[in-house]
């Protein structure tokens, strides 16, 4: 079954469903909120859905407890990075979202950039600092290469955790130290001045489609962890207000980025639209996006005529395994 399948979904065919939520990543709190929203929506539609926290019980219990499929509402490490996906493959339990390889690549921002560049897709210039690259002269060379301001972030983390905007050479050390608390590899990225955008995708392969673009207006450009999930100071514009041709360009680019990584089920690309020339740049791909009250995929889906419960149901119905996905479904 694909995301574009017009056939009515019979919840009785979905079987006992585990909503994986919580976990042990830095995004546990957000995952619990996402998972609870999904759980409530699926139960309201009659799905035999149950909460399952991998931090509290082993994944092998999914098999012994008779779960037929899993909705992954985990974020970050051990949830979005291919590890849980690999475990579910071994347990032969179909799951929502991207498979092992796409999940692992998308979680690694440096590897994601390498794939996109190989495909000719635009992404900001960057420098990756490994664990042994913390000398003062190495840090000072980064602004020389990328210019100022620049962005410093962990190579494998989400929800803007450990991210800093560096305005001067003197801030490099603190920014790298903060990012390194979350990952041994630190990504330093060219700062793109312009509009912050995000665009979800539903489906797989040639049938995948991009949903409406959302423009994010954060106070002083601070779209950080706190403002993302725990305040109402950020404005989300959908319709985005972009010119139709620009909206279509962003959607085409997002779709190409999603397909280049081999994503399936759903995902959400974050982008910047450069003010100087209105050129879009890919920042990252999220393969297990948030499903909280502040989350962007439900917001965009609603604008496309898909309400939150139906979105959850469609995602669950599209759950599959890597081999089955390659053959076109379960």
Partners of 95 in the beta sheet? 70, 320
Catalytic residue among 190, 240, 268, 300: 268
- Give the separation between CA 91 and CA 88, rounded to whole angstroms: 5
Closest CA to 129 of 183, 169, 75, 174: 183
Are 235 and 217 spatial neighbours (Cβ–Cβ below 8 Å)? yes
Residue 3 bridge partners (DSSP): none
**182 backbone dihedrals φ, ψ, rounded to 5°:** -110, -20
Q: Does 159 qualify as catalytic in the annotation?
A: yes
Asked if 90 and 58 count as a contact pair (C-beta separation under 8 A), the reply is no
Q: Check 23, 27, 156, 265 and give the catalytic one.
A: 27
Catalytic annotation, pick one of 270, 288, 300, 322: 270
Please say if 270 is a catalytic residue. Answer: yes
Choosing from 31, 98, 103, 159, which is the catalytic residue?
159
| Catalytic residue check, 27 | yes
Q: What separation in angstroms does the CA of 123 have from each of 118, 173, 200, 272?
A: 11, 24, 17, 9
* Nearby residues of 1 by Cβ (< 8 Å), 6 or more positions away: 7, 9, 317, 318, 329, 330
Three-state DSSP at 50 gives strand
Based on the residue annotation, tell me whether 268 is a catalytic residue of this protein: yes
**C-alpha angle 14/83/181, rounded to 5°?**
130
Catalytic residue among 108, 183, 247, 284: 284
User: Which residue's entry shows tokens 């041994």?
Assistant: 184
Please indicate whether residue 4 is annotated as part of the active site: no
User: How far apart are alpha carbons 324 and 92 in whole angstroms?
Assistant: 11
Do you know the residue count of the chain? 330
| Annotated catalytic residue within 286, 288, 295, 300 | 286
Is 284 tagged catalytic?
Answer: yes
Task: Single out the catalytic residue among 95, 223, 229, 308.
Answer: 229
Instruction: List, by residue number, the catalytic residues.
Output: 27, 159, 229, 268, 270, 284, 286, 290
């Amino acid at each position: 079954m694909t995301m574009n399948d017009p056939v009515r979904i019979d919840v009785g065919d979905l079987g006992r469903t585990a909503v994986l939520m919580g976990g042990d990543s830095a995004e546990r709190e957000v995952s619990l909120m996402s998972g609870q929203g999904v759980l409530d929506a699926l139960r309201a539609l009659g799905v035999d859905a149950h909460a399952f926290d991998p931090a509290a019980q082993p994944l092998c219990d999914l098999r012994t407890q008779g779960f037929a499929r899993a909705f992954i509402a985990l974020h970050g490490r051990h949830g979005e990075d291919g590890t849980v996906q690999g475990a579910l493959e071994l347990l032969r339990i179909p799951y929502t979202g991207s498979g092992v390889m796409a999940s692992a690549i998308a979680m690694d921002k440096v590897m994601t950039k390498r794939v996109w560049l190989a495909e000719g897709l635009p992404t900001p210039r960057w420098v990756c600092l490994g664990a042994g690259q913390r000398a003062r002269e190495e840090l000072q060379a980064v602004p020389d290469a990328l210019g100022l301001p620049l962005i410093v972030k962990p190579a494998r983390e989400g929800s803007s955790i450990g991210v800093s905007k560096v305005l001067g050479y003197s801030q490099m050390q603190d920014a790298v130290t903060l990012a390194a608390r979350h990952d041994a590899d630190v990504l330093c990225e060219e700062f793109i001045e312009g509009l912050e955008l995000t665009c979800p995708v539903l489906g797989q392969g040639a049938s995948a489609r991009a949903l409406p673009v959302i423009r994010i207006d954060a106070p002083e450009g601070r779209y950080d962890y706190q403002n993302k999930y725990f305040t109402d100071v950020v404005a989300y514009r959908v319709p985005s207000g972009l010119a139709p041709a620009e909206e279509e360009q962003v959607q085409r680019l997002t779709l190409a980025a999603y397909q280049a990584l081999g994503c399936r089920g759903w995902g959400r690309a974050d982008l910047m639209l450069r003010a100087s020339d209105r050129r879009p740049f890919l920042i990252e791909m999220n393969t297990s996006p948030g499903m909280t009250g502040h989350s962007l995929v439900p917001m965009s889906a609603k604008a496309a005529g898909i309400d939150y419960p139906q979105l959850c149901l469609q995602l669950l119905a599209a759950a599959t395994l890597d081999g089955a996905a390659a053959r076109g479904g379960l």
